[in-house]
Structure 1
């Protein structure tokens, strides 16, 4: 006699077999629509052979989906890798000029701009107007309207006016602007204005940035080409001015003391000063005995001569645009005890860029009528 447990196992196996048979019969009798739901969607033919695939035309292989519109106006694709400074007439130049109470100088400024021989369709202009008490803004718009008229062959590629007041109340007289007490405050304010103008106007298409003050009265028409030929990261010319004595002789005053080479005395002085004090070259209060560019030059000698500089002035600066893009701007605070353009030169030198002056290349500034024309007791033509 079989054990009870064996009989129970046999019954369970028989029940499972019966259940499988019933399920198979049920499924087999389902309608064709049910089975069609399991079919793959696609052609009835077999996949293409290698030879058949190679024989297809490009139209047969085309993607049936609509492509993405890369010209969508809300999406920009900027490739700065392809932007290189080439020193060619195709390079885009951005000319930047900060303005404050400058209405009297604008006519000469635009005359000199119009005379530049560099292709005007490769030049963009931008101005910052701030804290003015005269009609600088109105005069600027009037001059630009004439210059940028479609019938004017000297028109530039584009022009921009940026308006920004910084609350600067320092007077514009020579005594107020050039006094020693005003230098720290004035240079911080100018630096801030330069940075606002730079960041508003600089575009990915620009290869060079040319900083140009409004009160220049004379310069070579080929100044941009001359500067670019040196292929330096930062470059400035020598800044002088004309003044005529009672006999009609031109004393050729030296104007810009902000372009200089550091001295042992200057380095020693900076080590002793508080980090927030801003040094201003050319003042007896902080005599650093620096060698200034304006006393190195001789306009009768080679204008291509180069010298390294530790500080620069802002009357005329040509900068490779990538220097600014890399974060070298105009500190509106004390950076190595310098601010504005002198602080900019300190930053550029610290970052390893070339900062160069041209002692024999002269750009003429308006005479500011300072005492003795900044000759500081030297005779005309005397060099350090």
Structure 2
């Protein structure tokens, strides 16, 4: 076959019979109704309409961004190993960045132990992505959760999530399960239970355990980034610059939103659903096609939100459903945060009022005895 490399190639269908004969091209190349079968290892055909049908179970990608996470990795992999969803249908991916501890070394050791052929809990694949973003905020509780750190911090976390997502997502993945490293307790069948809801985006309630000086177990609400918008929140956003990140849970921004953390209780019906306008990032199950449609974690102000809250806003703008499970609780590590971040906000007020009601009932009971 002869080719003229000095001129742009012409589609065979545009050539006359004489031109085709001169270039010694087969007539079949000019047939617009017949697909050309090309056998080449460098050319791949991906049929997104049918790729999932090749799997016996939906393929899931579990994504976890890591920074200075070494102390939490042993528990993280313990919980991963206990997941009852078939491990051969699960891929793991981690992004390690801006670390000052031995997160990478511990992660390597844990993955090596988990992925040994002799380990029945072995997953299909595991991938580590390395990327530093130059994050300079401290990892202490005081600095991470200070009001002034929130805009920069949440933009940075959103960026790291996007890098991890686009480096790990494959055509065969039907679901993406975002899972933070500092979870300490969850049902082993959490993936199956989440998938039964068949929602575009789904989050559980996030609580923590705290023990007082007498050893009493105190249940605390952790994640205030999952919420339903209020008219006060909309009014506040309308008065802010479009470049401002409206950090939830701080007295500087009194939104009076309704938090998922205060909507439910783990003792009640776990299947109950509520619609949300913002979500936190501790535990998210997302249909992979939502991400493929361009819905990611904005590292800029999108409707005055960023990261996971911006993700929810972007998804709702595109017509996707964002759902929370108020009575399905995943337990987060106790970060020993001090009272104050939510001072003056609805959650703090409700908690204070509940304590006052309890105290009043005790006094009434004492007086009647």
Smaller-chain TM-score range? Answer: 0.7 to 0.9
Partner of 1:72: 40
Rg (Cα) greater in structure: 1
What does the per-residue CA deviation read over 1:215-271, in whole Å, with 9 as the maximum and x for residues that have no partner? 000000000001000000000000000001122222211110000000000011111
The CA distance in 2 between the partners of 1:232 and 1:123, in whole Å, is 19
Confirm or deny: 8 A CA contact 1:252 1:380 kept in the other structure.
Answer: no
Compute the TM-score of the two structures, normalised by the length of structure 1. 0.79
Residue 175 of structure 1 is matched in structure 2 by 142
Deviations 1:295-329 (A, max 9, x none): 10111110000000000000000000000000000
Q: Is the 8 A contact 1:83 1:207 kept in 2?
A: no
Distance apart, 1:381 and its partner CA: 12
> What is the distance in 2 between the residues matched to 1:89 and 1:286?
48
Query: CA distance change for structure 1 residues 216 and 142 in 2, over 3 Å: closer, same or farther?
Result: same
Aligned to 2:220: 253
Structure 2 length-normalised TM: 0.82
**Residues 359-378 of structure 1 aligned to structure 2 (within 5 Å):** 359-372=326-339, 376=348, 378=350
User: What's the offset of the Cα at 1:177?
Assistant: 0.2
Q: How far off is 1:275 after superposition? A: 0.3
Report the 3-state secondary structure (helix = DSSP H, G, I; strand = E; otherwise coil) of the residue aligned with 2:280. coil
- Separation in 1, partners of 2:257, 2:53: 33
Structure 1 window deviating more from structure 2 (218-227 vs 242-251): it is 242-251
In structure 2, relative to structure 1, the CA distance for the partners of 1:348 and 1:298 (3 Å cut) is same
Shift of 1:73: 1.5
1:39-50 aligned at under 5 Å gives the runs none
- Give me the CA root mean square deviation: 2.1
Q: 1:234 to 1:381 in 2, by over 3 A?
A: farther
CA contact (8 A) 2:52 2:173 kept: no
SS at match of 2:173: coil
- Please report how far the alpha carbon of residue 382 of structure 1 lies from its aligned counterpart in structure 2 after TM superposition: 5.5
Q: 1:195-344 maps to which residues of 2 (within 5 A)?
A: 195-344=162-311
- What displacement does 1:133 show? 0.3
Counterparts of 1:380 and 1:77 in 2: how far apart (Å)? 60
- Indicate if the aligned counterparts of 2:52 and 2:59 stay in contact, CA closer than 8 A: no
Change (3 A) 1:84 1:271: farther
Equivalent pair of 2:159/2:299 in contact (CA under 8 Å): yes
1:357 aligns with 2:324: yes
Conservation of the 8 A alpha-carbon contact between 2:61 and 2:176: yes
**Counterpart-to-counterpart distance in 1, 2:165 and 2:210:** 33
CA offset at residue 280 of structure 1?
0.9
Of 46, 49, 64, the residue aligned with 1:81 is 49
Gaps of 5+ in 1: 1-66
Task: Note if 1:118 corresponds to 2:90.
Answer: no
Secondary structure (helix, strand or coil) at the match of 1:252 reads strand
Q: Are residues 76 and 84 of structure 1, via their aligned partners in 2, closer, same or farther at CA, if it must alter by over 3 Å?
A: closer
Deviation larger for 332-341 or 364-373: 364-373
Does the 8 Å contact 1:260/1:311 carry over to 2? yes
For 2:157 and 2:53, locate their aligned partners in 1 and report how far apart those are by CA, in whole Å.
28
Report the alpha carbon displacement of residue 180 of structure 1 after superposing the two structures with TM.
0.4
**Contact 1:89/1:118 (<8 A) preserved:** no
Structure 1 residue 85 displacement after superposition:
9.2
- Map Cα deviations across residues 36-83 of structure 1 (whole Å, 9 max, x no partner): xxxxxxxxxxxxxxxxxxxxxxxxxxxxxxx97755210000000124
Taking the aligned partners of 1:158 and 1:379, their CA distance within structure 2 comes to 44
Task: Name the stretch that deviates more: 363-372 or 117-126.
Answer: 363-372
